[in-house]
Every structure is written in C-alpha cells, then in structure tokens.
A and B are shown apart, each in its own frame.
Chain A
Amino acid sequence: MKIIPFIVQKEFLQIFRNKSMLPIIFVMPFVQLLVLSYAANFEVKNLTLYITDHDYSAASQRLVNKFQGTGYFQLTGLSSGVQAGFEQIEKNEADLILQIPFDFEKNLYSRQPTDLQLIVNAIDGIKAGLANTYSNAIIADFNEEISAELPVTQVMRRAVPIQIESHNWFNTELDYKTFMVPGILVLLVTMIGAFLSSMNIVREKEIGTIEQLNATTIKKHQFIIGKLLPFWLLGLAELTFGLILARLIFDIPFEGSLLLVFGFAAIYMLVVLGIGMFISTVTDTQQQAMFIAWFFLVIFILMSGLFTAIENMPIWAQQITRFNPVAYFVKFMRMVLLKGSTFQDVQYLFGAITLYAIIINVLAILNYRKTSI
C-alpha cells in the first residue's frame, strides 16, 4: 500500500507541469459553465410573431394586445396581407404567424364560430410545440373573457365557474438556468474526468514508461488506484468550485444536503475515472483513446436527460439510460439541489452508481495487463 502515495505524487507533479493541460483543467470548465448556462437555453420567451389581421376591429386589436402582453411573443409586424409574414418565416425573422379572419369581431359577438389560424415554423419541433401551447392558452383565456362579457340569454345556463390556479414548485420563476446548471456541473466533471483518465495510461504506453513500471512488483490495483486518486481529487475540487459559482452567479438553491451531493459525487467520479481507465487499457494511442472517450461521452450526455427529459423517450431508450451513469448523476443533482430530496428518496440512485463503480473498476484492473499475451 505504501506505493500508492508515490504514484499520486508523481501524477500531480505531471499534471501541474503540463502547460497545455493546465488551462484545459482549470479554466475551460468554468468558461464552459458560464457559456453553457447561458447558451443551453430552451427557454422560449422571445418567440417572434407576425400577425396578419384581416379584420382590424376592436376585438382583433384586443387579441393582438393580449399576445403582446404575455411576454412570450415579440411582434415583428402587423398587416392585412399574408405574403410578408411568409417571407419573414422563410428568412427566420418570424417564428409564427397568427391570422385573424375577416368578420372576427362580428362572429364573436354574434356567437358564430370563427377560426384563427396559426402558422408555425416547425423546423425546431420543441419550439414550435411550445409556441402552439402558449398561443392556445392565450386564445382560450381570451375566449373566457369574451364569453363572460357577453349578455346571458335565456336559453343558456350561466357560465360554470371553475377557478384554475397553477403553481410552479421548486422553480417559481421558471428560470431555465436553475434547471440546467446542476446538470451542467455534472457534464463538466464528467468530461474532465473521462478525458484525463482515458488519456493517462495510454500516454505511458506511448512514451514507453509503462514497460518500466510493468517490470516492477507494483500490483495492478495499486497502479490503478494511484492513477485514479489524483483525478478523483481534481474532479471533486472542480465540483466544489462549480457549486460555488452556481450559488454565487446563478443563485441556484441548495435545498438538499451538500454532504449527500459530495457523497454521491465521490462514488460517481470513480465510475467516470474507471471508464476512462478502461478505455486507456484497451487503446494504443492517445488519439484512439480520445476518440473512443468522445464517442461514449456524446452518447452518455445526450441520453442523460440533461437536455431532453428521459421520461419523454421511447421505452427502449429509457431502458438504455439505465446503463448511463451520467443520467443518474444529473437526476440526483436536480432532485437534491432543487427539490431537497433526502437520502431515502435517492438511495436507489446510490445503489446503482455504487454497483457501476465496482464493476467498471474491477474490469479496468482485470484488463490492465502487466504481462502481454
């Protein structure tokens, strides 16, 4: 066991001496945190709207105002022609067109059915879906208002009063950054951990020092543990800085226990580093290691629920995410940081990630051969 501190010391010396790696390790993650948090934004607040109003009445004007008043839409133009709107959509200047038909007001007040038309640029399906949802909510609201104002006739019963009140828990202001930042922290420690560890052993292969080490009595587990420890500490340090930034800059609530967060992160880092070490043992060059790490990271990250909810995936895809450690950590961070989930709530995540850590590290140790076949 005495050998491990020597390896750890050596790895640290090498990390801190590598001028091209230092910025990658210490600056890049935080630039990423900042850029990503602002860029990774599915918040749809500034939808650009073109309105074609064929009616030009008080009622249509009221509807237009209602659209403008919500804060979701930004009016890019208003006219009675159709062509201009389509041109704007083609040039990406407008996301959607609302067409108000002739006799809108007349039909409305005489209780004749009348149809509004929404034309949405649906290349971005997510955005289009939300645009549709927002518009329909506004129109439904408008509908309510109007029918409440209309005189009640004998044949009709009075309106049925249902009060709907909605509350958004855990993120009352619907701030998208609150949602993304805990997940982005996961992304950062994962990328750094996986890249550094996957390129580590293979680098010793490339420069030839691995032969020298293999000719000593060093035990496989000592070697792997000695290599893992420095990156493990780095990863946790990075997470700490990330959490501080998240708190100071993005005002992320820390509802749950930080001890729980670090406990989980400690195990999670073992998984990430184990995967990196495993890649390192099966490759011959850093280039190969980098490509393989990149390949798996892309899949892990896209399937992690970070950008799109896992619940919305088809069942087979949800099954695949069971094997994705990133998904567990993203879920964990959101639950604990934003909702204050307790150990009881997340113990199955702990179980899964621990199992993963054991399996992948045993594999990495077994797969590292001191004697070639």
Chain B
Amino acid sequence: MKQFIAFVKKEFYHIFRDKRTLLILFGMPVVQVILFGFAITNEINEAHIVFLDKSHDVATDKIKDKILSSGYFRLNEKTPRSSADLQEIFREGKVKVAVVFGQNFYKNMLTHQSANIEILADASDPNMATTLTAYVTAIIRQYQAEEQTITGGLIGTEVKMLYNEQLKGVFLFVPGVITVILMLVSAMMTSITITREKELGTMEILMVSPLKPGLIILGKSTPYIALAMINAVTILLLAWTVFEMPIRGSLLLLLAECLLFVITSLSIGILISTITNSQQTALLISLMALMLPTILLSGFIFPINSMPLVLRYVSNIIPARWFIEIVRSIMLKGVGLEVIWTETLVLAGMALLFIVVSIKKFNIRLG
C-alpha cells in the first residue's frame, strides 16, 4: 500500500509540473461554460431589416413602426428603391429580412381588395429565416386583428416551457461540456500518459517492480479521476452561480454518475493505450475516435432526433450520449435512478466490457 501511495504521488508530480497543460485542463471548462452560456445563443437579437414601401401611407407606416418596436428588428441604414436593390443588399450580408409593401396598400385595405405584403428572408440560414418570417407575420396579423375590431373569437395560446422557462442555451450545453471535459481528462490524458511511459521505456521498469500491473494502471489513473471530478464540480458550480442552472435531482446521484462516466472513459483510455505504442497515435485515436463523436453524435450540440437513421444507431454506442441524457435528467428534470437506470446500466456495461478487453490485451502482451 505504501508503494502504491508513493506511486500515485509521483503521478501527481508529473501532472503538476506541466503548467501549460494544467492551465488548459482547468481553464478550458471555465472558458467553454462561459462562452456557451453567454455567447452561444439562438435568440434573435436585433436582426437587420429593410422595407421597400411602394405605398408610403398610414397603414404601411404603422406596420413598420410595429415591426421596429418589437425589439427583434433593427432598421438597416440602406434603403432599397426597387426590387433589384434588394438582391444587392442581401448580398452584402448584413440584412436578414426585407418587407415589401404593394402599391396602394391602405386604399386596397379600405376597399377590401387585397393589400399585398411580401416578406423576403435570407434563407442561407434556414432557421433564422423561418423564425424571422414567423415574427414578421405575427406582427402583421396582430395589426390586422386590431384593425378588424373583432371582439372575441380569437384563440389565445398559453405557452409553458418545461424545465427551462427562459430557454437558456446554457442549460442544454452544460451537460455536454461536462461530458467533453471528463472524456478529455480521463480518456485522452490517461491513454497519453500510459503510452508515454511505454515510449520512454519506463513502463518496462515499472513492470519488473513488485507492484502488480493492475495496481500500476490504477495508480496512473487515480490522479486523473481526481482531476476529472474537480473539473466536474467546477463546471457545476459555474453553471449554478453564474447561470442559475438548477440541480433539481440529487447532487449525490449526479456525482456518482459522473464518477461512473469517468471510470468508463478511463477504461477506454486504458484500452487505447494497450493497442498503441506512440503518444502521437494515442492522441490522434483519442481525438478522432473519441472527441469528435462525443461532440457531434452525442446530442451535445445537435439533436439526435434530427439525424439520419444510421447516425442515430451509431450514437447508441457512444458512451457520452447516455451520460448526457443522465445529466440532463437529473439536473433539469429532477428525476431519480428509477427513471435513468437503463442509461446507468449501459454505461456500467460499457466500462466492464472495456476493462475486460484491456486485461485480455494486456495479458496477451505479457504472455
């Protein structure tokens, strides 16, 4: 046991001596959470708009006023004189939507002929276009309703946003950031540190020491478990204090699940290190086979439901997918183990599988 403790100490020294890597390990989660929280948002915020008004009458002025005072739009300094100008204005890139009023708008409205409005949106960003068009349409409809002076008969809608009333993007991203960081620290760092010992030849020396191979691996991973858990707690604290993200379920359960995921990731890291011999290869495998799928296919940023079927199947073999589900459920929905036991079992199963395979590989190497 004494030897083991000495060994773990040595690993900690290695980590703390490399200040740059350490800075990144602790700095990355903070920067990511803050960026995601504040900057990464899809809320429409003053989209540039232009009007091409062929009528210039009371009605069009009123509609324009209503649109500009809604808070979603801001009048661009360019004024189109004809439809041809619009093409030009869109190309410059700033203006996202244009509203074109047909001729004799107010007159047509009064005489019950059709008064025409065209909404043109820059749909190179489809979601933005859809949302902006919907906003403009809603504002015009509202104007229309006011003019009609019809009392009653309108259907109201009451909207209830569950789990995230203010639609904060950070609620979606925090579980993902935790996942990526835990994966990075536990899988990538472990695989690199073990292959490094192999590369330097110090692994051989450790192998002939009285410590059992299992203990060596455990000793090498212990510091990373600690680092990973510190990171997880940091992110949770940030999310809680800065972004007021709730932890509706049990904190203890959440931390236990984090630990489970760390162990799963560690076992992957160990597996990678048993099949590679150079740091560079370990690094690239970690990056390509772990980090990218974790970011892309886990539902971290992109909803799994919108993916083609093949990718939805692929996402099932990615541990991060299950962990993100667990974190979201505990933090936002406040559920307990009775709801997320499937996900938990899948993670535990994966960990077991990777560990067994690593031991097999390890034994073949020794034998």
List chain A positions with a Cβ less than 8 A from chain B: 20-21, 24, 28, 32, 35-36, 38-46, 48, 89-92, 108, 111-130, 132-137, 139-140, 142-144, 146-147, 150, 156-172, 174-176, 178-179, 199, 283, 286-288, 290-292, 294-295, 298-299, 302-303, 307-309, 311-314, 317, 320, 331, 334-335, 338-342, 345
Contact = CB atoms under 8 A, between A and B. Distances in A.
Given A128-B164, A136-B134, A164-B140, A174 B126 contact: yes
Contacts of A311: 45-48, 96
A339 B91 contact: yes
B3 interface: no
Contacts of B21: 287-288, 291
Interface in B152-211: 152-169, 171-172, 192, 196
A170 B90 contact: yes
Interface of B: 18, 20-21, 24, 27-28, 31-32, 35-36, 38-48, 90-93, 96, 108-109, 112-131, 133-135, 137-138, 140-141, 143-144, 147-169, 171-172, 192, 196, 278-281, 283-284, 287-288, 292, 296-297, 301-303, 305-308, 311, 325, 328, 332-333, 335, 339
B269 to A, nearest CB: 14
Contact of B93 (A178, A307, A314, A339): A339
Contacts of B283: 286-287, 290
A147 B288 CA distance: 57
Contacts of A165: 116-119
Contact of A123 (B39, B122, B163, B192): B163
Contacts of A303: 35, 39
A117 B155 CA distance: 10
B162 A340 contact: no
B223 to A, nearest CB: 16
B119 A166 contact: yes
Given A39-B297, A41-B302, A122 B164 contact: yes
Contact of B328 (A120, A123, A163, A292): A123
A90 B333 contact: yes
B359 to A, nearest CB: 25
Contacts of A118: 157-160
A40 B168 CA distance: 20
Contacts of A178: 124, 126
B131 A169 contact: no
A367 B208 CA distance: 44
Nearest to B288: A28
Instruction: Tell me which of B91, B131, B149 has the highest count of chain A C-beta atoms within 10 A of its own C-beta.
Output: B91
Given A114-B156, A176-B126, A312 B42 contact: yes
Given A125-B167, A339-B90, 7 more contacts: A40-B296, A140-B137, A161-B114, A162-B116, A169-B121, A299-B35, A339-B93
B91 A287 contact: no
B164 A123 contact: yes
Best-surrounded residue of A132, A156, A287, A335 (most CB of chain B within 10 A)? A287
Closest 4 CB pairs of A and B: A125-B167, A168-B123, A111-B153, A317-B39
10 contacts: A44-B306, A130-B130, A160-B147, A162-B117, A162-B140, A165-B118, A288-B21, A292-B20, A308-B41, A311-B96
A126 B156 contact: no
Given A128-B161, A172-B123, A339-B93, A24 B148 contact: no
Contacts of B301: 40, 307
A136 B138 CA distance: 9
A52 to B, nearest CB: 13
A193 to B, nearest CB: 15
B160 A124 contact: no
Given A161-B115, A165-B119, A120 B93 contact: no
B124 A121 contact: no
Contact of B154 (A46, A113, A295, A309): A113
Given A132-B159, A170-B122, A287-B192, A157 B148 contact: yes
A160 B90 contact: no
B312 to A, nearest CB: 10
A40 B43 CA distance: 19
Nearest to B94: A311
Nearest to A335: B93
Given A24-B288, A39-B296, A156-B150, A128 B167 contact: yes
B145 to A, nearest CB: 9
A177 to B, nearest CB: 10
A14 B169 CA distance: 44
A111 B279 contact: no
Contacts of B284: 20-21, 24
A141 B110 CA distance: 22
A93 B130 CA distance: 25
A119 B113 CA distance: 39
A317 B109 CA distance: 44
B5 to A, nearest CB: 26
Contacts of A341: 91-93
Contacts of B164: 122-123, 125, 128
A157 to B, nearest CB: 6
A80 to B, nearest CB: 18
A35 B288 CA distance: 12
Nearest to A121: B162
Contacts of A127: 303
A111 B152 contact: yes
Contacts of B44: 312
Contact of B129 (A142, A147, A174, A292): A174
